[in-house]
């Protein structure tokens, strides 16, 4: 399977949001990766959207259903995608075993080993090196003719998702992914998008499949890493929250021991959870409550640089059981605010 890393990481979810331009100029030695202007109004909008996502995580499923569009037409927020075969049915193909066996974590060991040790986890090694992290590489690379009311042709979009999954310790480490909507926009295609297109569904289905293979509980999922944030909107939010642009001149101050951590209730938490890189981390919980529980929440979001000689940084989302005394309460319950939510997700 051929993969070309795009200019933007993580899939552009089809939310009713207006995203900033996500182009990236990558140069660790300069400030060329500076995010575009991100105004106070932009940040406030992200905070509002983060409030909605937080509510969706901690409200019971029947109330979370309000955030699935069209508004007030659903009785559940549960994703319709629960069967692993659905990936293949909608044109997603997993790379052959010999390709997966060649996926290695050696590129990440230098900055991830101290992180894993601090979290009390084994190093991010693949089974080939006696580790637990399974390399996964999905591509939307097959045309499909689907029979609904009538047959409809869905052309392959070239979308791809690469990540490592460790179900023994409840961990996903995403290296880069970009979805059908992004690819269609990038190449000006007007082909119908597959119905199974959202990153959070792909992650869930693959994680649940591997968990079943190893007789592990899916609801053990605890750690969600995103490596090398390139999305401009996410970078702009992170820079604002850290208080400085993460560059070759500043990253030495924000490596793992001096990481910035944000918690529910804080504006930066809300903005980061609503960022293009954060939405799927919230929605994997909010749309699979029957598996994870009615009130699982991203309990913290960490921002940390990879090394003092690089402008690259990662995000870590840690899953917790919701506790109102610790995490605060929602302020966007439909009983209090019977208006259209700041964010709606696709059914």
Residue 181 pLDDT class (50, 70, 90 cuts): confident
> 281-330 pLDDT, tens per residue?
999 999 999 999 999 999 999 999 999 988 999 999 999 999 876 777 65
For residue 342, the model assigns a pLDDT of 60
Number of domains in the chain: 1
Q: Does a structural domain hold residue 16?
A: no
Q: Output the CA angle 272-276-279, nearest 5 degrees.
A: 70
For residue 292, the model assigns a pLDDT of 96
Domain range for 215: 40-327
Q: Does a structural domain hold residue 155?
A: yes
Output 336 or 128, whichever has higher pLDDT. 128
Q: Does a structural domain hold residue 235?
A: yes
Is the per-residue pLDDT at 173 higher than 90? yes
Tell me what the mean pLDDT of segment 230-259 comes to.
94
Is the per-residue pLDDT at 210 higher than 50? yes
Residue 193 pLDDT class (50, 70, 90 cuts): confident
Q: Does a structural domain hold residue 252?
A: yes
For residue 145, the model assigns a pLDDT of 75
Q: Does a structural domain hold residue 90?
A: yes
Residue 152 pLDDT class (50, 70, 90 cuts): low
Give the CB-side neighbour count of residue 174, counting CA atoms within 13 A: 30
Residue 344 pLDDT class (50, 70, 90 cuts): low
3-state secondary structure of 103: coil
Output 284 or 24, whichever has higher pLDDT. 284
The 3-class SS string of 150-212 reads CEEEECCCCCEEEEEEECCCCEEEEEEEECHHHHHHHHCCCCCCCCCCCHHHHHHHHHHHHHH
Least confident of 16-25, 157-166, 183-192: 16-25
Is the per-residue pLDDT at 25 higher than 50? no
Q: Does a structural domain hold residue 7?
A: no
**What whole-number distance in Å separates Cα of residue 76 and Cα of residue 333?**
15
> 29-65 pLDDT, tens per residue?
333 355 567 899 999 999 999 999 999 999 999 999 9
Q: Does a structural domain hold residue 46?
A: yes
Q: Does a structural domain hold residue 19?
A: no
Is the per-residue pLDDT at 206 higher than 60? yes
Is the per-residue pLDDT at 98 higher than 70? yes
Number of neighbouring beta carbons within 10 Å of residue 81? 20
User: Across-strand partners of 296?
Assistant: 321
> 245-287 pLDDT, tens per residue?
999 999 999 999 999 999 999 999 999 999 999 999 999 999 9
**What whole-number distance in Å separates Cα of residue 13 and Cα of residue 270?**
17
């Amino acid at each position: 399977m051929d993969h070309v890393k795009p200019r933007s990481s993580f899939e552009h979810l089809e939310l009713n949001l207006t995203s900033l331009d996500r182009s990236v100029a990558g140069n660790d030695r300069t400030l060329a990766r500076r995010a575009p202007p991100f105004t106070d109004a932009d940040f406030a909008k992200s905070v509002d959207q983060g409030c909605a996502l937080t509510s969706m995580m901690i409200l019971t499923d029947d109330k979370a259903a309000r955030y699935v569009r069209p508004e007030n037409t659903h009785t559940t927020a549960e994703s319709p995608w629960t069967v692993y075969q659905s990936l293949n049915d909608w044109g997603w193909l997993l790379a052959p075993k010999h390709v997966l066996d060649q996926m290695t974590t050696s590129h990440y060991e230098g900055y991830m080993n101290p992180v894993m040790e601090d979290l009390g986890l084994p190093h991010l090694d693949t089974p080939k090196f006696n580790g637990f992290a399974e390399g996964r590489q999905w591509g939307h690379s097959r045309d499909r003719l689907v029979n609904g009311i009538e047959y409809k042709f869905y052309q392959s979009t070239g979308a791809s998702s690469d990540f490592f999954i460790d179900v023994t310790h409840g961990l996903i480490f995403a290296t880069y992914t970009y979805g059908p909507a992004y690819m269609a926009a990038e190449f000006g295609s007007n082909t119908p998008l597959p119905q199974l297109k959202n990153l959070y569904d792909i992650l869930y289905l693959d994680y649940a499949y591997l968990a079943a293979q190893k007789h592990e509980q899916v609801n053990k999922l605890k750690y969600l890493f995103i490596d090398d944030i390139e999305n401009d909107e996410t970078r702009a939010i992170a820079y604002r929250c850290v208080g400085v642009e993460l560059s070759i001149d500043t990253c030495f101050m924000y490596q793992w021991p001096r990481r910035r951590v944000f918690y529910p209730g804080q504006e930066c938490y809300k903005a980061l959870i609503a960022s293009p890189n954060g939405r799927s981390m919230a929605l994997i919980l909010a749309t699979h409550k029957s598996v994870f529980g009615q009130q699982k929440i991203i309990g913290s979001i960490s921002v940390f640089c990879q090394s003092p000689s690089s402008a690259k940084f990662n995000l870590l989302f840690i899953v917790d059981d919701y506790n109102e005394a610790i995490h605060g309460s929602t302020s966007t319950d439909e009983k209090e605010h019977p208006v259209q939510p700041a964010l709606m997700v696709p059914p």
